[in-house]
Amino acid sequence: MNIAYVFFTFKYVSVIPSPQQGAQALPIAANIQALSHSFADRQVLRNVSFRVDQGAFVGLLGANGAGKTTLFSILTRLLRSSSGNVFLFGHDLQQSPAAALATLGIVFQQPTLDLDLSVLQNLQYHGAIQGMSPTNVQSRAQDELERLQLWDRRHEHVRRLNGGHRRRVEIARALLHEPRLLLLDEATAGLDLESRIQLQRHVRTLIETRGLAVLWSTHRAEELEASDTVILLDKGAVCAQGQLSTLITAAGVEDTNQLLLSLSKTRA
């Protein structure tokens, strides 16, 4: 990505890519515009705006309590925002929720599998909710579970799986109806290092092989790569966004953790 301008203020850093001559713009998977939300008198999101392009990995980075889960709840329509707009592949989430949500796959921070159902039964239930035919569900479930090396365990109860394998099942379920945008909210929470690495590798492979758009929410700086586009969320507001390596250089710090600390201090 060619960087044309870097803007600084005491409260916000934004890296804006320069337009490329003759380049064809990718569809916008998610367009979040001036999103704000409050619980009673406590404001948890403050004028949040950013976009996720098709085929892009975007990291949403922030400490616990920064507003990441509230944002995901709005994007999945579990909450309705106090103000602002969300468009998913051009569909207004408020005006056309069914069309907008049909483009989404979601892995929540808290596990949502039924532990007393088998791996395959969990996917079959999800497929039925999505209006998929039993034949299509079976075919798609086999595709996704084989890719995640879980097809041989499809009849096991989820309760018998370890945390890493349960997360794989949730990924398979999220991809069952072939969404175009995958949301992952702290998807590596509770996983060991090997499972975290495997999960990240799989998600990035999906981007390369399917052109999937991914919004990856995390508080772990090590889960992001220098070339990633990142949105840094602090106290419910976007305090920086752009290519991670460029933001680090622009802020005059050595790594992502120092970047988070420096931006957080300027907003204190």
Backbone angles phi, psi at 132, to 5 degrees: -80, 150
Q: Is the dihedral of CA 217, 184, 28, 35 positive or negative?
A: negative
Domain 3-19+26-103+180-266 CATH (choose: 3.30.460.80, 3.40.1190.20, 3.40.50.300, 3.40.50.2020): 3.40.50.300
Q: For the chain, what are the domain ranges?
A: 3-19+26-103+180-266, 114-178
pLDDT band at 5 (very low <50, low <70, confident <90, very high): very low
pLDDT digits 0-9 by tens, 175-192: 999 999 999 998 888 888
pLDDT in tens, 71-125: 999 999 999 888 999 999 999 999 999 999 999 999 998 889 999 999 999 999 9
Which band of pLDDT confidence, cut at 50, 70 and 90, is reported for residue 1? Answer: very low
Query: Contact at 8 Å (CB) between 199 and 167?
Result: yes
Query: How does residue 61 score in pLDDT terms, banded at 50, 70 and 90?
Result: very high
Q: Is the pLDDT of residue 64 over 60?
A: yes
Burial class (CB in 10 A: 0-12, 13-18, 19+), 46: middle
Total-model pTM: 0.86
